[in-house]
Structure 1
Amino acid sequence: MRIMLKTCISLWLSLMMLSGCSQIGLTYRHLDLIIPWSLNDYLDMNSTQKDWFDERLKEHLSWHCTTQIPDYLSWLDRLQGMVENNQVNEAQLKARTAEARQAIATISQEITPSAVELLRQLDDQQVAEMETAFAKDMRKHEADFVDQPLDQQVRERAERMEKRLNPWIGKLNAAQRDRVMQWSTSLGEQNRLWIDNRAHWQSLLVTAVKQRQAPGFDQKIAKLLQDRETFWTPEYRQAYDHTEQAAISLITDLMAQSSPEQRQKLLQKIADVRQDFTHLGCLKGVKKAS
């Protein structure tokens, strides 16, 4: 189930290419790694917390499979129709993007009560560990993405995009590679803006958790999880619309430049993902009940 969800998100990122968008990149990884589930990477939970975590995770995974995956199948059907009917255009991609955002919002709302409870259980040492781990996380991201000259950042960003695309449409042709490089160049300092925005959000989370026994804690965490745009840095907010439009334009152009073999490969990948979801045991149970 977790692998299937990862595959779906990988497909989404590969096709829609909103990789510069922290809203998707940070909020929607795997269901069990959505913040604050990803805090499991940043601190050691005690045995009581782990037992509680495992039980809640099972509940959320069951909810996700039985209530959300049917919508993913419909989303894949619409995506398949776009490719088959040569309708991979800006209007259709924007519609699919809006649907993905709604899926993210639904999951964020579902896990918020558990997130609040988990964060309130932390002791001072765990909060300190989380803060230290966040700082380490930032240093790693800076080393990986912004401690290089801008031209190297642009080149490596284009390489990462090609690597994401290859499993879904195969090797890019020369025109497609040029278009990917053009896209990467147009984003400029996006790496820095994304990392600064990530650090800003993490700082707000740590500040809120340090006051976890104070009135209004539930509401603060809910807003941090469900209304992330509210906390974007001004620089990231200003760049966001350009980043999203650049991604949509990129996909539109790549599909316009695609060969029949590339489109067939994409359709087969979509079919494979759909089949994997359809074969999930929890989803079969829903179908029998209905």
Structure 2
Amino acid sequence: MSRWLKYITFVLMFSLTLGGCSRMGLAYRNLDVIIPWTLGDYLDMNGEQKGWFNERLKEHLSWHCTTQMPSYLDWLDRLQSMVASNQVTDDALQARATEAKQAIAETAREITPSAVELLQGLDDKQVAEMNEAFAKDQRKREVQYLKPSLDQQIKERGERMEKRLNDWLGPLSPTQRQRVAAWSNALGDQNTQWIANRVHWQKQFSAAVAQRQSPEFPQRIETLLVDRERLWTPEYRQAFAKTEAQARSLFVELMTESTPTQRQRLQTKIEGVKKDFSDLKCLKAAKQS
């Protein structure tokens, strides 16, 4: 669940391209990366629950690989075509981000019944441990992202982005680095709204689990996992829209300023991700059947 939450706290365009593809290539060796559902960081499952969880996760991974992965490859083709034709525009990035959101929602919807079944089987001690893990997570993130001064937060955010971009584009030019710094500065205290909304979601999740035997529980969990944007705070909804717009603007300008070497590096990186996916045994088996 913690890794899944990262998808909604960062701009989807970057999390699925610049920031996420390197992780996604390892998805079927690290089962909690693509499937947006893991309670491992928050819940101490007993032996029976772990056995059930692992078997159900294998089923979800098989479903995901055979039914969803082909569309991921198509998505990467569209992304690669944008770069190759130098048509990285705001409209095109919005389209790719919308497709990514739909893919995440479809996967979340698929695993919701399993999440409901597991959560309904928790005892009170496990629920209390989960809630304490949420509180620990909150404290950790507040120290990491909110304790530094605003100037330091902006500096660190820019450094994180520059590190991602260096991996996918190669060394940035002075102009590109200035643009990254301007992007980070424009987001201001976005960390505050992100953390607040994260806590807001966790509280709603905990409240739902407290009523896990109620008839409304399955629908409540589906809303929390699939239609999570409906539950965002108004402040975060506004901040997220700004974050997405700023990220698209950044990426468009970076690509406008990019060199042929940088574009070739990005093409090669995307091609590598496509190969990682294409080489998955489950996908090869699906193509042969």
Gap regions ≥5 residues in structure 1: 1-8, 19-28
Alignment of 1:137-156 (within 5 A): 137-156=137-156
Q: What amino acid is the match of 1:13? A: S
Cα gap change, 1:48/1:58 in structure 2, threshold over 3 Å: closer, same or farther? same
Partner of 1:217: 217
Partner of 2:7: none
The one-character-per-residue Cα deviations of 1:150-181 (angstroms, maximum 9, x if unpaired) are: 00000000001011111111111111110001
Alignment of 1:48-197 (within 5 A): 48-197=48-197
Alignment of 1:228-267 (within 5 A): 228-267=228-267
Please, which moves more after superposition, 9-18 or 66-75?
9-18
CA shift, 1:243, in A, is 1.1
CA shift, 1:31, in A, is 3.0
Distance 2:67 2:14 in 1: 19
Distance 1:197 1:47 in 2: 33
- Equivalent pairs counted in the alignment come to 268
Q: What amino acid is the match of 2:212? A: R
Aligned residues of 2:90 and 2:248 also touching (Cα < 8 A): yes
Cα gap change, 1:10/1:252 in structure 2, threshold over 3 Å: closer, same or farther? closer
Partner of 1:6: none
Aligned residues of 2:18 and 2:164 also touching (Cα < 8 A): no
SS in 2 for 1:171: coil
Q: Please say if 1:13 is aligned against 2:37.
A: no
Cα gap change, 1:95/1:10 in structure 2, threshold over 3 Å: closer, same or farther? closer
CA shift, 1:234, in A, is 1.5
Aligned residues of 2:13 and 2:96 also touching (Cα < 8 A): no
CA shift, 1:215, in A, is 2.1
CA shift, 1:14, in A, is 6.7
Aligned residues of 1:17 and 1:247 also touching (Cα < 8 A): no
The one-character-per-residue Cα deviations of 1:98-120 (angstroms, maximum 9, x if unpaired) are: 11011011101101000100110
SS in 2 for 1:38: coil
SS in 2 for 1:39: coil
Identical columns (%) = 57
Distance 1:55 1:111 in 2: 13
The one-character-per-residue Cα deviations of 1:23-69 (angstroms, maximum 9, x if unpaired) are: xxxxxx7134x2xx332111210001000000000000101110111
Q: What amino acid is the match of 1:270? A: I
CA shift, 1:267, in A, is 0.5
Give 1:31's match in structure 2, choosing from 34, 41, 51.
34
Distance 2:53 2:108 in 1: 16
Higher helix share: 1
Q: What amino acid is the match of 1:164? A: R
Cα gap change, 1:60/1:108 in structure 2, threshold over 3 Å: closer, same or farther? same
Cα gap change, 1:112/1:230 in structure 2, threshold over 3 Å: closer, same or farther? same
Gap regions ≥5 residues in structure 2: 1-10, 21-31
Q: Please say if 1:45 is aligned against 2:45.
A: yes
Cα gap change, 1:164/1:198 in structure 2, threshold over 3 Å: closer, same or farther? same
Cα gap change, 1:200/1:229 in structure 2, threshold over 3 Å: closer, same or farther? same
Cα gap change, 1:172/1:158 in structure 2, threshold over 3 Å: closer, same or farther? same
Aligned residues of 2:109 and 2:226 also touching (Cα < 8 A): yes
